Structure 1
């Protein structure tokens, strides 16, 4: 994977009074993207709150109220910029399938294809590494890899922490001689 470029993404999702966990129904409320080159050097970044056009859902989880989201752009307004950042890269997220599904649905709503063809989850990678931790939650892995997490469930802080967790995970996988669980995710629109 050293030759690949990566994009680390973290989404904040919410909607309809539940925990905002259904990509086809709930919406992305915040988005943070950091792009890295094949050596792990930061090459770009973008983050924003988003106006989902609906109830933001579990404010007690993400802290994003309608008032705080007022005036934020819609996903449609940022889709070209996000698409350019994601295009031709490996999507890295903690639960990559979850983030990919939300991105695919947001892009579908604006009649675009999600421009990601491969993904890597730090959760899946750490299942292979099997660190001596009580669980594989992002905060737990952050502590394990010596990463400071300041605001859990904040897209910008989570992607910053994820960048460092990824590096620690890649180092551990290298020491163990593990193949990285990079999965193909053909462009989809549903």
Structure 2
């Protein structure tokens, strides 16, 4: 009997567990709050973690694609890709009525929520589940909490790291045995509420002197936006080689 066999779950399936999941991965132009999504993938799973279907899209970020050496998506590749508002409806159909599952889910959810806010659309996500948090709940003997380590633990072969579709596939395959292990052990899933952003502004208005605006609990406004770099990022700096136009340097 393999780990992936449903019969391993001897106890009745927990009635409190969700009825469906959307395993998500997004690649982005960076990690900051004003960065954009360049690709997204969703694997839809049923209540037992079985794959129903999958979907993938490129997204034109309308700016420099950022760390090309990580996600491999250049400006030329993304130039003809759809804008986020053009894929929002399809993404919504795949997220609706499901728990969003991601590795470091806080990041994926925050990027998705901001894109929806820019498009003036509410993301149809009410709860998220982070597979890092679930691995900790299960006390899996992992050397670290990287996706590659979780995949290796369950014997899942990663073919193309940092490609949204393959990362989502790997996570879906690793999530299923994690879900069954949680069900067997009576583990409460680490579900968190997702609060969609309700407003967006690329050009915050400076407040009047002495005026303190009330904070909106479900909203977020970005910091001052830097102009997009006109040069594509050529990749990592190589020791003893000269800097190249477009490299990002931090002091």
After TM superposition, is the score higher than 0.5? Answer: yes
- CA shift, 1:70, in A, is 1.9
Query: Normalization by structure 2: what TM-score?
Result: 0.70
Cα deviation code 1:25-68 (max 9, x no counterpart): 10000000111111223233210111100000011111111012
How far 1:126 sits from its partner (Å)?
Answer: 0.5
Aligned with 1:10 (options 25, 28, 35): 25
More helix by share: 1
CA RMSD of aligned residues (A): 1.4
The structure whose Rg is larger is 2
Q: Aligned partners of 1:138 and 1:160: how far apart in 2?
A: 11
SS at match of 1:36: strand
Unaligned runs of 5+ residues in structure 1 are 15-19
The question of whether the paired residues in 2 share the 8 Å contact of 1:6 and 1:92 is answered with yes
Q: Which runs of 4+ in 1 moved over 3 A?
A: none
| 2:175 is aligned with 1:166 | yes
Q: Partners of 1:122 and 1:179 in 2: how far apart?
A: 13
Partner SS for 1:97: helix
Unmatched 5+ stretches in structure 2: 1-15, 199-219, 221-251
Aligned to 2:97: 88
Deviation at 1:173, TM superposition (A): 2.1
Q: Does residue 36 of structure 2 align to residue 21 of structure 1?
A: no
CA distance in 1 between counterparts of 2:38 and 2:153 reads 28
**Conservation of the 8 A alpha-carbon contact between 1:2 and 1:39:** no
Give the conservation status (yes or no) of the 8 Å contact 1:3–1:39.
no
Q: CA deviation digits over 1:151-185, x for unaligned, max 9?
A: 11110000000111101211222343321101111
- Provide the aligned length of Structure 1 versus Structure 2: 184
SS at match of 1:142: helix
Q: Give 3-state SS (helix, strand or coil) of 1:12's partner.
A: strand
Q: Please state whether the residue corresponding to 1:115 is helix, strand or coil.
A: coil
Q: Tell whether the 8 Å contact from 2:49 to 2:179 is kept in structure 1 after alignment.
A: no
The answer to whether 1:134 aligns with 2:143 is yes
Instruction: Report what 1:17 is aligned to.
Output: none
